[in-house]
Amino acid sequence: MMDAVALAVALGAVQGVTLERDSPLGELTTYRIGGTAALTVSIDHVEALIEVGRILSEADTSVVVLGRGSNVLVADTGFDGVVLRLVADFEAVSIPTVGAAELVEVSAGSAAPLPVVARRTAAAGLGGFEWAVGVPGTIGGAVRMNAGGHGSDMAASISGATILTLGGSPRWVGVDGVGFGFRSSGIAADDVVLDATLVLRPREVERSEAEIDDIVRWRREHQPGGQNCGSVFVNPVPGEISAGALIDTLGLRGCRDGTASVSDKHANFILSEPGGAASDVVRLMARVRAEVLERTGHDLRSEVRLLGFDAEVAEAAGARPATPAGH
Ligand SMILES: Cc1cc2nc3c(=O)[nH]c(=O)nc-3n(C[C@H](O)[C@H](O)[C@H](O)COP(=O)(O)OP(=O)(O)OC[C@H]3O[C@@H](n4cnc5c(N)ncnc54)[C@H](O)[C@@H]3O)c2cc1C
Protein backbone atom coordinates (compact mmCIF):
# COMPACT_ATOMS: atom_id res chain seq x y z
CA MET A 1 0.00 0.00 0.00
CA MET A 2 1.16 3.51 -0.82
CA ASP A 3 1.27 6.36 1.70
CA ALA A 4 -0.20 9.78 0.81
CA VAL A 5 3.12 11.23 -0.34
CA ALA A 6 3.97 8.26 -2.56
CA LEU A 7 0.46 8.38 -3.98
CA ALA A 8 0.74 12.07 -4.86
CA VAL A 9 4.14 11.48 -6.47
CA ALA A 10 2.82 8.56 -8.55
CA LEU A 11 -0.29 10.47 -9.67
CA GLY A 12 1.70 13.63 -10.39
CA ALA A 13 3.94 11.69 -12.77
CA VAL A 14 1.01 10.82 -15.07
CA GLN A 15 0.82 13.04 -18.16
CA GLY A 16 -2.45 14.95 -18.46
CA VAL A 17 -2.97 15.07 -14.70
CA THR A 18 -3.00 18.16 -12.47
CA LEU A 19 -2.87 17.78 -8.68
CA GLU A 20 -4.01 20.11 -5.92
CA ARG A 21 -3.62 19.41 -2.22
CA ASP A 22 -6.06 20.69 0.40
CA SER A 23 -7.92 22.74 -2.17
CA PRO A 24 -11.47 24.04 -1.61
CA LEU A 25 -14.00 21.35 -2.46
CA GLY A 26 -17.25 22.88 -1.26
CA GLU A 27 -16.76 25.69 -3.78
CA LEU A 28 -16.91 23.13 -6.59
CA THR A 29 -20.47 22.23 -5.62
CA THR A 30 -23.71 24.16 -6.18
CA TYR A 31 -24.13 24.39 -2.37
CA ARG A 32 -20.80 26.26 -2.30
CA ILE A 33 -20.24 25.25 1.34
CA GLY A 34 -18.03 22.64 3.01
CA GLY A 35 -14.32 22.09 3.44
CA THR A 36 -11.34 21.03 1.37
CA ALA A 37 -10.29 17.82 -0.38
CA ALA A 38 -7.03 16.17 0.68
CA LEU A 39 -6.15 15.64 -3.00
CA THR A 40 -7.93 16.84 -6.14
CA VAL A 41 -6.84 15.19 -9.38
CA SER A 42 -7.90 16.78 -12.68
CA ILE A 43 -7.52 14.45 -15.63
CA ASP A 44 -7.73 15.57 -19.25
CA HIS A 45 -7.81 12.38 -21.33
CA VAL A 46 -8.82 8.76 -21.07
CA GLU A 47 -5.36 7.13 -21.10
CA ALA A 48 -4.39 9.33 -18.13
CA LEU A 49 -7.56 8.25 -16.32
CA ILE A 50 -6.77 4.56 -16.92
CA GLU A 51 -3.30 5.07 -15.42
CA VAL A 52 -4.70 7.07 -12.49
CA GLY A 53 -7.24 4.28 -11.93
CA ARG A 54 -4.49 1.68 -11.89
CA ILE A 55 -2.52 3.65 -9.27
CA LEU A 56 -5.59 4.34 -7.11
CA SER A 57 -6.71 0.71 -7.17
CA GLU A 58 -3.47 -0.12 -5.36
CA ALA A 59 -3.83 2.67 -2.77
CA ASP A 60 -5.85 2.54 0.43
CA THR A 61 -7.82 5.74 0.02
CA SER A 62 -11.39 6.86 -0.61
CA VAL A 63 -11.98 8.09 -4.13
CA VAL A 64 -14.89 10.06 -5.52
CA VAL A 65 -15.59 11.42 -9.00
CA LEU A 66 -17.01 14.91 -8.99
CA GLY A 67 -19.06 16.36 -11.82
CA ARG A 68 -20.57 19.79 -11.31
CA GLY A 69 -21.26 18.99 -7.66
CA SER A 70 -24.96 19.69 -8.10
CA ASN A 71 -25.96 16.67 -6.04
CA VAL A 72 -23.17 16.66 -3.47
CA LEU A 73 -22.86 18.18 -0.01
CA VAL A 74 -19.34 18.42 1.41
CA ALA A 75 -18.78 18.26 5.18
CA ASP A 76 -17.40 21.38 6.89
CA THR A 77 -14.37 19.28 7.85
CA GLY A 78 -13.76 18.40 4.20
CA PHE A 79 -12.99 15.08 2.51
CA ASP A 80 -9.91 13.11 3.47
CA GLY A 81 -9.61 11.29 0.15
CA VAL A 82 -9.03 11.75 -3.58
CA VAL A 83 -11.43 13.72 -5.77
CA LEU A 84 -11.29 12.99 -9.49
CA ARG A 85 -12.31 15.73 -11.89
CA LEU A 86 -12.65 14.97 -15.60
CA VAL A 87 -11.80 17.89 -17.89
CA ALA A 88 -10.79 18.73 -21.50
CA ASP A 89 -11.35 15.61 -23.68
CA PHE A 90 -14.17 14.53 -21.39
CA GLU A 91 -16.18 17.64 -22.30
CA ALA A 92 -16.48 16.69 -26.00
CA VAL A 93 -19.90 16.35 -27.63
CA SER A 94 -20.12 14.83 -31.09
CA ILE A 95 -23.31 15.59 -33.04
CA PRO A 96 -23.56 14.06 -36.52
CA THR A 97 -25.27 15.83 -39.41
CA VAL A 98 -28.98 15.17 -39.23
CA GLY A 99 -30.17 13.32 -42.32
CA ALA A 100 -33.19 11.17 -43.07
CA ALA A 101 -32.55 8.61 -40.30
CA GLU A 102 -35.30 8.21 -37.71
CA LEU A 103 -32.87 7.92 -34.80
CA VAL A 104 -29.58 9.77 -34.40
CA GLU A 105 -26.84 8.91 -31.91
CA VAL A 106 -24.98 11.71 -30.15
CA SER A 107 -21.86 10.94 -28.14
CA ALA A 108 -21.50 13.17 -25.08
CA GLY A 109 -18.42 13.21 -22.83
CA SER A 110 -18.96 12.71 -19.12
CA ALA A 111 -17.93 16.28 -18.25
CA ALA A 112 -20.29 17.91 -20.76
CA PRO A 113 -22.89 20.04 -18.89
CA LEU A 114 -26.49 18.90 -19.47
CA PRO A 115 -27.82 22.39 -20.31
CA VAL A 116 -25.13 22.74 -23.01
CA VAL A 117 -25.93 19.32 -24.51
CA ALA A 118 -29.67 20.08 -24.43
CA ARG A 119 -29.24 23.40 -26.23
CA ARG A 120 -26.68 22.13 -28.75
CA THR A 121 -28.72 19.10 -29.78
CA ALA A 122 -31.87 21.24 -30.08
CA ALA A 123 -30.03 23.75 -32.25
CA ALA A 124 -28.75 20.90 -34.45
CA GLY A 125 -32.33 19.79 -35.17
CA LEU A 126 -32.48 16.91 -32.69
CA GLY A 127 -35.25 16.45 -30.16
CA GLY A 128 -35.45 14.31 -27.03
CA PHE A 129 -32.98 15.94 -24.65
CA GLU A 130 -34.78 19.25 -24.08
CA TRP A 131 -35.83 18.08 -20.59
CA ALA A 132 -32.19 18.29 -19.41
CA VAL A 133 -31.78 22.04 -19.95
CA GLY A 134 -32.54 22.91 -16.32
CA VAL A 135 -30.44 20.20 -14.66
CA PRO A 136 -27.10 21.80 -13.74
CA GLY A 137 -25.02 18.59 -13.76
CA THR A 138 -22.75 16.72 -16.15
CA ILE A 139 -23.50 13.74 -18.38
CA GLY A 140 -21.46 11.49 -16.02
CA GLY A 141 -23.25 12.68 -12.89
CA ALA A 142 -26.60 12.40 -14.67
CA VAL A 143 -25.98 8.79 -15.70
CA ARG A 144 -24.92 7.93 -12.16
CA MET A 145 -28.02 9.57 -10.66
CA ASN A 146 -30.43 8.77 -13.51
CA ALA A 147 -31.23 12.48 -13.57
CA GLY A 148 -34.56 13.36 -15.08
CA GLY A 149 -37.50 15.68 -15.23
CA HIS A 150 -40.35 16.91 -17.42
CA GLY A 151 -41.40 13.34 -18.24
CA SER A 152 -38.01 11.87 -19.15
CA ASP A 153 -34.72 10.78 -17.67
CA MET A 154 -31.29 9.46 -18.63
CA ALA A 155 -32.55 5.87 -18.78
CA ALA A 156 -35.00 6.91 -21.51
CA SER A 157 -32.42 9.02 -23.36
CA ILE A 158 -29.32 6.85 -23.83
CA SER A 159 -28.46 3.58 -25.55
CA GLY A 160 -25.53 3.03 -23.20
CA ALA A 161 -22.40 4.48 -21.63
CA THR A 162 -18.68 3.82 -21.52
CA ILE A 163 -17.64 2.97 -17.98
CA LEU A 164 -14.23 2.41 -16.42
CA THR A 165 -13.87 0.56 -13.13
CA LEU A 166 -10.76 2.03 -11.49
CA GLY A 167 -7.92 -0.40 -12.11
CA GLY A 168 -9.53 -1.80 -15.27
CA SER A 169 -10.19 -0.82 -18.88
CA PRO A 170 -13.13 1.08 -20.39
CA ARG A 171 -16.13 -1.04 -21.38
CA TRP A 172 -19.38 -0.31 -23.16
CA VAL A 173 -22.47 -0.94 -21.03
CA GLY A 174 -25.83 -0.98 -22.81
CA VAL A 175 -28.71 0.89 -21.18
CA ASP A 176 -30.19 -2.30 -19.73
CA GLY A 177 -26.90 -3.05 -17.96
CA VAL A 178 -26.64 0.30 -16.16
CA GLY A 179 -29.11 -0.77 -13.45
CA PHE A 180 -31.22 2.36 -13.68
CA GLY A 181 -33.89 3.00 -11.04
CA PHE A 182 -35.75 6.18 -10.11
CA ARG A 183 -32.94 8.75 -9.63
CA SER A 184 -30.45 5.92 -9.19
CA SER A 185 -28.26 3.51 -11.10
CA GLY A 186 -26.21 0.43 -10.41
CA ILE A 187 -22.97 2.31 -11.09
CA ALA A 188 -20.55 1.55 -8.26
CA ALA A 189 -18.43 4.06 -6.34
CA ASP A 190 -15.26 2.97 -8.19
CA ASP A 191 -16.93 3.14 -11.61
CA VAL A 192 -16.29 6.22 -13.72
CA VAL A 193 -18.65 7.13 -16.56
CA LEU A 194 -16.54 8.28 -19.51
CA ASP A 195 -19.28 9.15 -21.98
CA ALA A 196 -22.86 8.31 -22.91
CA THR A 197 -24.61 7.84 -26.23
CA LEU A 198 -27.87 9.75 -26.53
CA VAL A 199 -30.50 8.49 -28.94
CA LEU A 200 -32.44 11.42 -30.40
CA ARG A 201 -34.92 12.11 -33.20
CA PRO A 202 -34.86 14.82 -35.86
CA ARG A 203 -37.10 17.71 -34.76
CA GLU A 204 -37.72 21.26 -35.94
CA VAL A 205 -35.32 23.59 -34.16
CA GLU A 206 -38.12 26.08 -33.34
CA ARG A 207 -40.17 23.40 -31.56
CA SER A 208 -37.25 22.19 -29.45
CA GLU A 209 -36.21 25.73 -28.58
CA ALA A 210 -39.78 26.66 -27.61
CA GLU A 211 -39.88 23.62 -25.30
CA ILE A 212 -36.55 24.66 -23.78
CA ASP A 213 -37.88 28.20 -23.17
CA ASP A 214 -40.97 26.75 -21.46
CA ILE A 215 -38.85 24.55 -19.20
CA VAL A 216 -36.54 27.43 -18.24
CA ARG A 217 -39.57 29.64 -17.50
CA TRP A 218 -41.22 26.89 -15.43
CA ARG A 219 -38.05 26.40 -13.38
CA ARG A 220 -37.69 30.12 -12.70
CA GLU A 221 -41.30 30.27 -11.49
CA HIS A 222 -41.22 27.13 -9.34
CA GLN A 223 -37.67 26.69 -8.06
CA PRO A 224 -35.52 28.96 -5.92
CA GLY A 225 -32.10 30.30 -6.96
CA GLY A 226 -29.19 30.53 -4.57
CA GLN A 227 -27.11 27.83 -2.96
CA ASN A 228 -28.79 24.43 -3.11
CA CYS A 229 -28.60 21.02 -4.74
CA GLY A 230 -32.08 20.81 -6.23
CA SER A 231 -34.61 18.43 -4.72
CA VAL A 232 -33.29 16.97 -1.48
CA PHE A 233 -35.59 13.97 -1.05
CA VAL A 234 -36.66 11.43 -3.65
CA ASN A 235 -40.41 11.13 -4.19
CA PRO A 236 -41.47 8.18 -1.98
CA VAL A 237 -43.94 6.94 -4.61
CA PRO A 238 -42.69 8.26 -8.00
CA GLY A 239 -45.50 9.84 -10.00
CA GLU A 240 -47.95 9.62 -7.07
CA ILE A 241 -46.62 11.01 -3.79
CA SER A 242 -44.07 13.81 -3.95
CA ALA A 243 -41.63 14.54 -1.14
CA GLY A 244 -42.18 18.28 -1.64
CA ALA A 245 -45.96 17.93 -1.17
CA LEU A 246 -45.48 15.92 2.06
CA ILE A 247 -43.07 18.51 3.49
CA ASP A 248 -45.41 21.29 2.39
CA THR A 249 -48.50 19.84 4.06
CA LEU A 250 -46.61 19.77 7.37
CA GLY A 251 -46.03 23.53 7.08
CA LEU A 252 -42.26 23.18 6.96
CA ARG A 253 -41.64 25.80 4.23
CA GLY A 254 -39.32 28.44 5.59
CA CYS A 255 -38.23 26.41 8.65
CA ARG A 256 -34.63 27.02 9.54
CA ASP A 257 -31.59 25.57 11.29
CA GLY A 258 -28.80 28.14 11.57
CA THR A 259 -27.68 28.98 8.02
CA ALA A 260 -29.95 26.38 6.36
CA SER A 261 -33.62 26.81 5.52
CA VAL A 262 -36.41 25.00 3.68
CA SER A 263 -37.20 27.10 0.61
CA ASP A 264 -40.37 29.23 0.68
CA LYS A 265 -40.73 28.57 -3.04
CA HIS A 266 -40.26 24.78 -3.18
CA ALA A 267 -40.58 22.69 -0.02
CA ASN A 268 -38.15 19.99 -1.25
CA PHE A 269 -35.26 22.46 -1.63
CA ILE A 270 -32.99 23.22 1.33
CA LEU A 271 -31.00 26.41 0.87
CA SER A 272 -27.74 27.49 2.43
CA GLU A 273 -26.40 31.00 2.93
CA PRO A 274 -23.07 32.35 1.70
CA GLY A 275 -20.51 31.18 4.26
CA GLY A 276 -23.08 28.71 5.63
CA ALA A 277 -22.40 25.42 7.41
CA ALA A 278 -22.97 21.99 5.87
CA SER A 279 -23.74 20.73 9.39
CA ASP A 280 -26.82 23.01 9.44
CA VAL A 281 -28.02 21.51 6.14
CA VAL A 282 -27.74 17.88 7.31
CA ARG A 283 -29.38 18.71 10.64
CA LEU A 284 -32.30 20.30 8.83
CA MET A 285 -32.51 17.30 6.46
CA ALA A 286 -32.68 14.99 9.48
CA ARG A 287 -35.35 17.12 11.17
CA VAL A 288 -37.54 17.29 8.04
CA ARG A 289 -37.16 13.56 7.50
CA ALA A 290 -38.03 12.76 11.16
CA GLU A 291 -41.14 15.00 11.09
CA VAL A 292 -42.37 13.51 7.81
CA LEU A 293 -41.85 9.98 9.16
CA GLU A 294 -43.62 10.71 12.44
CA ARG A 295 -46.58 12.57 10.94
CA THR A 296 -47.13 10.77 7.60
CA GLY A 297 -45.37 7.40 7.96
CA HIS A 298 -43.27 8.03 4.82
CA ASP A 299 -39.54 7.38 5.32
CA LEU A 300 -37.93 9.87 2.94
CA ARG A 301 -34.62 9.02 1.33
CA SER A 302 -32.31 11.69 -0.04
CA GLU A 303 -30.66 11.64 -3.45
CA VAL A 304 -27.93 14.04 -2.24
CA ARG A 305 -24.48 12.44 -1.97
CA LEU A 306 -22.81 13.32 1.33
CA LEU A 307 -19.05 13.64 1.19
CA GLY A 308 -16.90 13.54 4.32
CA PHE A 309 -19.77 12.96 6.80
CA ASP A 310 -19.97 10.15 9.36
CA ALA A 311 -22.19 7.28 8.25
CA GLU A 312 -24.61 7.92 11.17
CA VAL A 313 -25.04 11.58 10.20
CA ALA A 314 -25.72 10.57 6.60
CA GLU A 315 -28.22 7.93 7.70
CA ALA A 316 -30.12 10.36 9.95
CA ALA A 317 -30.43 12.70 6.96
CA GLY A 318 -31.73 9.80 4.85
CA ALA A 319 -28.71 10.03 2.54
CA ARG A 320 -25.99 7.74 1.34
CA PRO A 321 -22.33 8.67 1.73
CA ALA A 322 -20.69 9.35 -1.67
CA THR A 323 -17.99 6.78 -0.87
CA PRO A 324 -18.67 3.32 0.58
CA ALA A 325 -16.65 3.91 3.73
CA GLY A 326 -18.27 7.29 4.26
CA HIS A 327 -14.93 9.03 4.62
C1 LIG B 1 -30.98 23.89 -9.10
C2 LIG B 1 -30.90 22.39 -9.28
C3 LIG B 1 -31.87 21.73 -9.99
C4 LIG B 1 -31.81 20.35 -10.17
N5 LIG B 1 -32.78 19.74 -10.88
C6 LIG B 1 -32.73 18.40 -11.07
C7 LIG B 1 -33.74 17.74 -11.84
O8 LIG B 1 -34.67 18.34 -12.35
N9 LIG B 1 -33.63 16.40 -11.98
C10 LIG B 1 -32.61 15.68 -11.43
O11 LIG B 1 -32.57 14.45 -11.60
N12 LIG B 1 -31.64 16.28 -10.71
C13 LIG B 1 -31.66 17.63 -10.52
N14 LIG B 1 -30.69 18.23 -9.78
C15 LIG B 1 -29.62 17.41 -9.17
C16 LIG B 1 -28.35 17.25 -10.04
O17 LIG B 1 -28.21 18.33 -10.94
C18 LIG B 1 -28.34 15.93 -10.82
O19 LIG B 1 -28.38 14.80 -9.96
C20 LIG B 1 -27.08 15.81 -11.69
O21 LIG B 1 -27.22 14.70 -12.53
C22 LIG B 1 -25.78 15.65 -10.90
O23 LIG B 1 -24.71 15.80 -11.83
P24 LIG B 1 -23.30 16.36 -11.35
O25 LIG B 1 -22.38 16.33 -12.51
O26 LIG B 1 -23.46 17.67 -10.70
O27 LIG B 1 -22.89 15.23 -10.32
P28 LIG B 1 -22.21 15.46 -8.89
O29 LIG B 1 -23.16 16.18 -8.00
O30 LIG B 1 -20.86 16.01 -9.05
O31 LIG B 1 -22.12 13.93 -8.40
C32 LIG B 1 -23.30 13.21 -8.09
C33 LIG B 1 -22.91 11.73 -7.96
O34 LIG B 1 -22.50 11.26 -9.24
C35 LIG B 1 -21.16 10.77 -9.18
N36 LIG B 1 -20.50 11.14 -10.43
C37 LIG B 1 -20.31 12.37 -10.96
N38 LIG B 1 -19.68 12.28 -12.14
C39 LIG B 1 -19.46 10.96 -12.37
C40 LIG B 1 -18.83 10.22 -13.41
N41 LIG B 1 -18.30 10.82 -14.48
N42 LIG B 1 -18.79 8.88 -13.29
C43 LIG B 1 -19.32 8.24 -12.21
N44 LIG B 1 -19.92 8.88 -11.20
C45 LIG B 1 -19.99 10.23 -11.27
C46 LIG B 1 -20.54 11.43 -7.96
O47 LIG B 1 -19.49 10.66 -7.43
C48 LIG B 1 -21.73 11.49 -7.02
O49 LIG B 1 -21.93 10.25 -6.38
C50 LIG B 1 -30.73 19.61 -9.61
C51 LIG B 1 -29.72 20.30 -8.90
C52 LIG B 1 -29.81 21.66 -8.74
C53 LIG B 1 -28.71 22.38 -8.01
Provide residues with CB under 6 Å of ligand 1: 30, 64-72, 86, 110, 135-138, 140-142, 144-145, 147-149, 183, 187, 191-193, 228-230, 305, 322
Q: Is residue 281 part of a domain?
A: yes
- 144 and 22 belong to one structural domain: no
Q: How far apart are CA 82 and CA 229, in angstroms?
A: 22
Question: 234-247, pLDDT tens digit by residue?
Answer: 999 888 999 999 99
- 83 and 113 belong to one structural domain: no
- 72 and 99 belong to one structural domain: no
What CATH number corresponds to the domain at position 99? 3.30.465.10
- 197 and 288 belong to one structural domain: no
Q: How far apart are CA 181 and CA 238, in angstroms?
A: 11
Instruction: Give the pLDDT band (50/70/90) at residue 322.
Output: confident
Q: Is residue 23 part of a domain?
A: yes
- 202 and 123 belong to one structural domain: yes
Centroid of ligand 1 to alpha carbon of 137 (angstroms)? 5
Which residues neighbour 51 within 8 Å (Cβ) at sequence distance 6 or greater? 14
From 135, 154, 192, give the residue whose CB has the most ligand 1 atoms within 8 Å, as the site to mutate.
135
Bridge partner list, 165: 191
- 40 and 131 belong to one structural domain: no
Burial of 23 (0-12, 13-18, 19+ CB in 10 A): middle
Q: What average pLDDT score do residues 125-153 get?
A: 97
Q: Is residue 176 part of a domain?
A: yes
- 125 and 172 belong to one structural domain: yes
Instruction: Give the pLDDT band (50/70/90) at residue 85.
Output: very high
Bridge partner list, 184: 181
Nearest C-alpha to atom 37 of ligand 1 is from which residue? 141
Q: Is residue 25 part of a domain?
A: yes
- 252 and 294 belong to one structural domain: yes
Centroid of ligand 1 to alpha carbon of 95 (angstroms)? 23
pLDDT at 182 exceeding the cut of 70: yes
pLDDT at 88 exceeding the cut of 90: yes
Number of domains in the chain: 3
What pLDDT score does 111 carry? Answer: 98
| Confidence (pTM) | 0.96
Ligand 1, residue 229: give the atom nearest the CA.
Answer: 53
Question: 62-81, pLDDT tens digit by residue?
Answer: 999 999 999 999 999 999 99
Instruction: Give the pLDDT band (50/70/90) at residue 4.
Output: confident
Q: Is residue 312 part of a domain?
A: yes
Do 91 and 111 touch, CB atoms closer than 8 A? yes
Question: What own/partner pairs with CB < 8 Å and gap ≥ 24 does 10-15 have?
Answer: 10/55, 11/39, 11/41, 11/52, 11/55, 11/56, 14/48, 14/51, 14/52, 14/55, 15/48
Q: Which domain holds residue 153?
A: 92-222
- In what helix (H) or strand (E) does residue 252 lie, and over which residues does it extend? none
Q: Is residue 237 part of a domain?
A: no
Who wins on pLDDT, 2 or 141? 141
- 23 and 71 belong to one structural domain: yes
- 131 and 169 belong to one structural domain: yes
- 264 and 312 belong to one structural domain: yes
Q: How far apart are CA 180 and CA 187, in angstroms?
A: 9
Centroid of ligand 1 to alpha carbon of 181 (angstroms)? 15
- 123 and 211 belong to one structural domain: yes
What CATH number corresponds to the domain at position 278? 3.90.78.10
Q: How far apart are CA 118 and CA 124, in angstroms?
A: 10
Nearest C-alpha to atom 43 of ligand 1 is from which residue? 192
